[in-house]
Structure 1
Amino acid sequence: MELTELKLTARRFGLLQKMGITTLEQLLKTYPFRYESHEQLPFDQWQKGDTVGFAGLIASRPAVIRLGKNRTMTRFTVISWNQELQVTVFNRPWLNAFPFGETIHIRGTYNGEGKVTAMQAQKKPLEEGLVPVYSMTKGMKPADMPAILDKALEHLDQLPDLVPPDLRRRYRLLDKDTSYRWIHRPPDEKRLHLAIRTLKYEEFLCFQCAVQSESALGQRKTPRMFDHALADAFLDQFPYDLTADQRQAIEDVWSDQRRDTTMYRLVQGDVGSGKTVVAMAAIRACELSGAQSAMMAPTEIL
């Protein structure tokens, strides 16, 4: 399904184009990169640095301070939890947005001593529970992606169900529609984890099917022949002994490298389990065979 069918504004459609999102499937697979827990805790439980949410009555007329080109700071007082709170909002110089005597809903950072720096200041009630946070491109507002996803979730019937029913029953997976709804609009943490588990299974199933399909084509390559003793000597340089599982994984990879069929292997393990050691052993074997190799890694994580 093309995104034009979602009837988005020209601005939002253009933003998705900038992000390389052109289909409904790509949009629905643009998952939140984190979730914020929005609970309105009583004032006496606030700690300095906490993200807090509350409703209050605007008790002073806003004062706008110009900080420089296109930068402003607006301050006003709110009565909430029987406390007088001083709220600061940046780059919102519209005085009519903060009318004296009206109720306003605030979410922001508590700075201590009754001072709050607002991230959200609005007339409608705040969203509570687990709130998804999406990556944004330049020009995108925080409210854009949730609004776009709301429209996309109305068209889940356009997406194919890739996991067969028997596998869903066997591994206690959610149906397609529920998994997408819960990952974008999680009712609670338990159901969010069920959605993540289901979508991860679908991703690995598709990967495995693709690998088996490629293998069935019988693509051939030049076997990588190398001196096993020299490859072992490389591993002996490490200041620790490899575990039996690490050794087995390396031997499996080396065995595949010596074959004349293309190797498709996914090494899966927890953080610190030794996946990088396995990759380095494969690179060393490749070097010893006279070929080149490359390692790609997400540098922000590693």
Structure 2
Amino acid sequence: MDLTTDVRYLKGVGEKKAKLFYKLGLFTIGDLLTYFPRSYEDRSSIKKIHELEPDTSVCIEGCLVSAPRLTQVRQQLSIIRFQVSDGTDLLDVTCFNQPWLKNKLETGVKYVFFGKVTGNLIRREMVNPSIEPSDSPPRLTRRIKSIYRLRAGISQQMLSDTIEQCLRIVGDNIPDPLPESVKQKHQLAHARFAYENIHIPSSGYALETARRRLIFEELFILTLGLRLMRSAGTASGPDIKVPALDDFMRQLPFELTSAQERAIRDIFSDMSSGRSMNRLIQGDVGSGKTIVAAAAAWASVSNGYQCALMAPTEILATQHFEELEPLFGKFGFRTALLTGSMSAKQKREVKELIKSGFYHLIIGTHALITEDTEYSNLGLVITDEQHRFGVRQRAALTAKGEVPHTLVMSATPIPRTLALIMYGDLDVSVIDELPPGRKRVNTYAVDESKRDRIYNFIRRLVAEGRQVFIVCPLVEDPEGLDDGRKAVEAYTKQLSEEIFPDLRIGFVHGKLRQSDKDAVMKSFVEGKIDILVSTTVIEVGINVPNASLMIVENAERFGLSQLHQLRGRVGRGKHESYCILISDSKNEATLSRLSIMTNTNDGFVISEEDLKLRGPGDFFGDRQHGIPKLKIADLADNADTLREAAYAALELLNDDPELTSPENMKLRKAVFEMIDQFRS
């Protein structure tokens, strides 16, 4: 038997039970060994009965002072009762539906019991404890017990026993992909020790040592795989002769920040290297990523190549077009807009001109990657708001050119540790400086008692000529549709009829037709609507400099990064701006979360806090980035180990770029197995 042996051949499993294991995704011995416990129960220390406190789970050791009494209540219910003493006090024990214990337990013999203590300090009791003789090897007690995720039909003991059997079978043949040099440098345990002590910890220290080794291994292999994928993707790219940046800057109505200039230099260096660029531009809300992308597009079109910029929404694509078309026109370059809502005739005409090379910069939505969209000479692909795109969509656009340069803009600040994994196949530039004049948004967390004051504040701002966003959370309706439509429409009706009958109020939500949504947003941008009520469809990128107040209803239902994105819709003009987070929640964790928003405007600080509070799931969404599911590592909890593993991976690849040295062959195999998971 080896790691590939089917679980049905294990003792005590067989064909019938194997089907239960298959439902857990456990098909082989190897699967069982990497099915790590979700938690642990410390049963290693023995307590004295007189010390026991109610509602604690403990081990005690003692003798039965009374013979077990069996009561058959009815056919399906039997009860056994007895008392145990350890010389300090008595403990009552009750066991349900275990009639065999009557003949198995003897008075005067020492046993170890583990269970939850109930009762009070005068009369203590355990119900259905784990029991084993003191002179037997520790299986149920006197050890740290692993707790696994289960399915119906498989018990903790069955799974533990099966995994222990696997450890005995495999023994020293557990593969160890880590080179000795890496283990020594980072003081990591050997594989056999790690697997034995992750499942059957001999002590708390051994468990921590095992966990650290296996977490490091998983993150080390993951970062190695991402690095190798990145180097494999660096084929020859379009040859860009970088023009003088001063020529571009002279056409801008503002000065670039030093962070923007640094990001542009990174991009120009990539584009002129002869290799295909794969770069992520990360920046906070309002840090000026669009103009950095525009500089990259300008360098591309100045060299005779086309540039495609794909945005996640038509509103944002139109906004980019309106901003960049006049700028590129100053250099004699033609810009096209291509979106799904255009008529078939319009799309056909634009696509023909794209194919002929007439247009230099093409801005659009998913219409840019349809099969019938052909380019004349695509040299640069820019995807905006990467969170809204999957890897396949990005790849589909890249496939439109030979090997075009790729630039990704992410407006949601990502914790640096998480960026290592989410964008490990990309080089990263961070714009960590806001343009001068970008105002801090005054943020307040309030409850329902302040609603009248909020409405008065809205009226005052509108009277001054400002505009207001009000965001409602998505609400689950009876059909289970989480679209927020009913909440938005009902609230808009209430505002229009009861509170602000004299103001112009509009609404947008996810179920509106795109053309209707665009019409409302256009009216808001043009100042024809005073108050816009919406779901989070407005969180991405929309630019309304005259909007100076963002109100978020039921703010406790949003994540921190999402709240920060919503707040970023205001504070874009010359006016003092405000964000009011309304929540009646008394939950301490919620109040703490909202206080983070009131204390900082730094998106990177907020994203780190969000990662700690909510975990990486919200950043990954539906795993659209193709990251394999981690088996033991947690990106929020293991940030330090991730950094250590990432640096170790870089160091190793400097010495052995292809992992072809004899010492690294097992590691190479593990890395390429992980890469296959990315691609499947």
Deviation at 1:100, TM superposition (A): 4.7
What is the aligned counterpart of 1:42 among 36, 45, 48? 48
Please state if 1:230 is matched with 2:542: yes
Equivalent of residue 77 in structure 2, options 57, 71, 79: 71
Using the alignment, how far apart are the partners of 2:161 and 2:616 within structure 1?
39
Residue 163 (structure 2) aligned to one of 146, 149, 152:
149
What residue is the counterpart of 2:130 in the other structure? 120
Gaps of 5+ in 1: 250-266, 284-291, 294-302
1:17 to 18, 22, 26: 22
Match of 1:131 among 113, 128, 145: 145
Within the alignment, does 1:165 sit opposite 2:477 as a pair?
no
Give the superposition deviation at 1:223: 5.1
TM-score by length of 2: 0.34
Aligned to 1:180: 195
1:209 correspondence with 2:224: yes
CA-to-partner distance for each residue in 1:59-86, whole Å, 9 max, x for gaps?
3333334556633332122233253332
**Pick from 94, 106, 123: which aligns with 1:88?**
94
CA pair 129-270 structure 1, distance change in 2 beyond 3 A: farther
d(CA) in 1 for partners of 2:233, 2:51:
63
**Structure with the greater alpha carbon radius of gyration:** 2
SS at 2:542 equivalent: helix
Partner amino acid for 2:207? L
Contact 1:76 1:88 in 2 (8 A): yes
Which digits, 9 at most, give the CA deviation of each residue in 1:66-121, with x for residues without a partner? Answer: 55663333212223325333210122122323345544432222223132223213
Moved more, 166-175 or 222-231: 222-231
Alpha-carbon distance in structure 2 between the residues aligned to 1:273 and 1:102:
50
Look up the equivalent residue of 1:106 and give its one-letter code.
Answer: F
Amino acid at match of 2:53: Q
Change (3 A) 1:268 1:242: closer
Structure 2 counterpart of 1:34, one-letter code: S
Q: Distance in 2 between matches of 1:217 and 1:51?
A: 54
The one-letter amino acid paired with 1:93 is P
Q: Which amino acid aligns with 2:129?
A: M
SS at match of 2:150: coil
Tell me the SS of whatever aligns to 2:53.
coil
- Residue 195 of structure 1: how far off its partner (Å): 1.3
Q: Which amino acid aligns with 2:48?
A: P
Distance change (3 Å), C-alpha of 1:5 and 1:242: farther
2: CA distance, partners of 1:218 / 1:8: 51
Partner of 2:204: 189
* Local SS of the residue matching 2:612: coil
Contact persistence 1:105–1:122 (CA under 8 A): yes
> For the residues of structure 2 that align with 1:104 and 1:272, how far apart are their CA atoms?
43
Q: Give 1:27's aligned residue.
A: 32
Residue pair 1:105, 1:121 contacting (<8 A) in 2 also: yes
Alpha-carbon deviation of 1:168? Answer: 1.9
Q: Structure 1 residue 200: deviation in Å?
A: 1.0
8 Å contact kept, 1:62–1:76 = yes
User: Is the contact between residue 79 and residue 85 of structure 1 (CA under 8 Å) also seen in structure 2?
Assistant: yes
CA–CA distance in structure 1, aligned partners of residues 64 and 132 of structure 2: 12
1:220-274 CA-partner distances (Å, limit 9, x unpaired): 9985334585279734256544426358x8xxxxxxxxxxxxxxxxx99861499
Shift of 1:135: 2.5
TM-score after normalising by structure 1 = 0.71
1:273/1:170 Cα in 2 relative to 1: closer, same or farther (>3 Å)? farther
Query: How many residues align structurally?
Result: 265
1-side partners of 2:130 and 2:218: how far apart? Answer: 35
Q: How far apart in 1 are the matches of 2:565 and 2:111?
A: 68
1:122 aligned partner, one-letter code: E
Match of 2:414 in 1: none
SS of aligned partner of 2:98? coil
Task: Report the equivalent of 1:97.
Answer: 104
Render the CA deviation track for 1:138-194: whole Å, top value 9, x for unaligned.
233332222212221120444432222222222222121111112112222222112
- Distance in 1 separating the partners of 2:159 and 2:201: 15
For 2:40 and 2:615, the matched residues in 1 are separated by 29
Post-superposition offset of 1:196: 1.0
Q: What is the DSSP-based 3-state SS (H/G/I as helix, E as strand, rest coil) of the residue aligned with 1:199?
A: helix
Cα distance in 2 for residues equivalent to 1:276 and 1:136:
22
Return the alpha-carbon distance in structure 1 between the equivalents of residues 614 and 115 of structure 2.
39
**What is the RMSD computed on CA atoms of the aligned residues?**
3.9
Q: Distance in 1 between matches of 2:615 and 2:47?
A: 42
Separation in structure 2 between the aligned mates of residue 29 and residue 274 of structure 1, nearest angstrom: 22
One-letter amino acid of the counterpart of residue 234, structure 1: L
After superposition, the Cα gap between the structure-2 partners of 1:18 and 1:65, relative to the gap in structure 1 and judged at 3 Å, is farther
Q: Which ranges of 4 or more aligned residues in structure 1 deviate by more than 6 Å? A: 218-222, 273-277
Q: Does the CA contact (< 8 Å) of 2:8 and 2:17 recur in 1?
A: no
Shift of 1:50: 1.9
Preserved CA contact (<8 Å) 2:50 2:89: no
- Is the Cα contact below 8 Å between 2:93 and 2:126 reproduced in 1? yes
Q: Which moved more, 1:171-180 or 1:57-66?
A: 57-66
Instruction: Quickly say closer, same or farther: Cα 1:8–1:209, change in 2 above 3 A.
Output: farther
Q: In 1, Cα distance between the equivalents of 2:109 and 2:90?
A: 15
Percent identity over the alignment is 18
Shift of 1:36: 1.4
Q: Are the counterparts in 1 of residues 112 and 131 from structure 2 also a CA contact under 8 Å? A: yes
Report the secondary structure of 1:54's partner residue: strand
Separation of aligned partners in 1, 2:84 and 2:615? 54
Give the secondary-structure state (helix, strand or coil) at the position aligned to 1:143. Answer: helix
Alpha-carbon spacing, 1:152–1:59, altered in 2? closer, same or farther (3 Å): same
Identify if the C-alpha distance between structure 1 residues 142 and 234 changes in structure 2 by more than 3 Å, giving closer, same or farther.
closer
